[in-house]
Amino acid sequence: MTVDTLRSFIQAETRIDPSAQHLYHNGQLITDNSKTMEQLQISDGDMLALHVRDMRGSTGIPAPTSDSARQPPGSAQRRPGIEQDPELIRLQILGNARLRAEVSRQQPELGAALEDPERFAQLFQASYERDQRERYERQQMINRLNADPFDVEAQARIEEMIRQERVMENLQNAMEHNPEVFGRVHLLYVDVEVNGHKVKALVDSGAQATIMSPACAEACGIMRLVDKRFAGIARGVGTATIIGRVHSAQIKIGSLFLPCSFTVMEGKSVELLLGLDMLKRHQACIDLAKDKLVIQGVEIPFLGEADIPKQIEEALEEEPTVAGPGGMTIGQRSGAVSAPTGPSVSAPTSGPRPSQGPAAVSAPAQPSFPEEHIQQLMALGASRERAIQALRQTGGNVEYAAASIFED
């Protein structure tokens, strides 16, 4: 029996038009009406969920299709006012193992309620109301600011709000189209030996001199060679005490033995830093395509992230952060994005926009496509970014977008 035939049987028994029938198996939306039950791996006794939608997009109560396709116990009707159906979202999460794991990790309370339709709907309702309340308060503040166009302080606040909205819009565009810029980039380290002592050296073409810490100089047995006449204070981003200079010592890097001079300096978190003086003297090339340091034709691979000294990674983890969209945090120095720590479910809404004028502030831009269309495409296994891209490519036509995703 094909899916199309099953839809006809459902129509005969329940008078539900096939176009309003959304059938789910294991949380996955069934879209191909030409396939048989065997092809979809639906066997006798399996449960199918029927989600009923009318032509205006309103959602009814999931209805049973037959004895083998029963309504899940405790299924709840959509709460009044919610534009997304909690039960539909719950089914989509249950049918996507990756999405379910992500929800459980980022939103533990919501993840724990996935098997309880009533509890899930309550949490979704509470989140929706919270989001609505925040939007209402923001709209009220915008209206108050727009009430007196000659209030200098209000105009200054309006200007700052406009600037912040542009900043957030720029951030969201970057996260959607260039997510790689928010990845953490680890520093370039190579394995070297100084006087037989193995050291992980940081390659830094932005540093003028090659620097070594006093502890590393002691471990390498060259502290006795420090010329303290070169002591002083190094100034740049902060200050550091220069103990002195080792004029010449042999360094092994790869298969090469090279002469090198070191400035012994306190206050640095790295043991050894190969600066521009060392790199230029030996005509070194930082080849990022190969991920290697090339010196005189010898290629020295950079260390992987797991081999980088831990104190450097700990320093990056302790960096200050700023708030991003969706509860995420972004490192101020590295730009690395961290997932939100608290539960948060958002549902798009629509409402009146404030009056437009020379000093008027508009409400935050809403998604250009209906959320339910995005969720339907995500139920097909596409990521949110891919679903939005498919809708954009097909002018918002969800059926053509689904076909585009199936062709991937």
What does the pLDDT read at residue 336? 60
Q: Kindly report the pTM of this predicted structure.
A: 0.45
Backbone angles phi, psi at 69, to 5 degrees: -130, 75
**Pairing between strand 256-265 and 211-212?**
parallel
Domains of the chain by residue range: 189-307
Residues forming beta bridges with residue 249, ordered by sequence position: 260
Structure tokens at 221: 């047995």
What does the pLDDT read at residue 344? 42
Distances (CA, A) of 205 to 75, 208, 247: 62, 8, 20
What does the pLDDT read at residue 317? 53
204 among known catalytic residues? yes
Characterize 175-196 residue by residue with b for buried, 16 or more Cβ atoms within 10 angstroms of its Cβ, and e for exposed.
beeeeeebeeebbbbbbbebee
What does the pLDDT read at residue 50? 80
Q: Catalytic: which of 131, 204, 227, 291?
A: 204
What does the pLDDT read at residue 202? 92
Sheet strands side by side (includes 292-295): 285-287, 292-295, 298-301
What does the pLDDT read at residue 343? 42
CATH architecture classification, 189-307:
Beta Barrel (2.40)
Q: Residue 87 CB: number of other CB atoms within 10 A?
A: 23
Per-residue pLDDT of the chain (408 residues; tens, 9 = 90+): 888 888 888 887 787 888 888 888 877 788 888 888 888 888 887 878 887 765 444 333 344 443 333 444 334 444 444 456 788 888 888 887 777 877 777 678 888 888 888 888 888 888 888 878 887 887 787 788 778 778 888 888 888 878 888 888 888 787 777 777 776 778 899 999 998 899 999 999 888 889 999 999 999 999 999 998 888 877 655 577 889 999 989 899 989 999 999 999 887 778 899 999 999 999 999 999 999 999 988 999 999 888 888 765 555 555 566 666 555 666 655 556 665 544 444 433 334 333 333 333 333 334 457 777 787 777 767 788 778 877 776 667 666 676 666 555
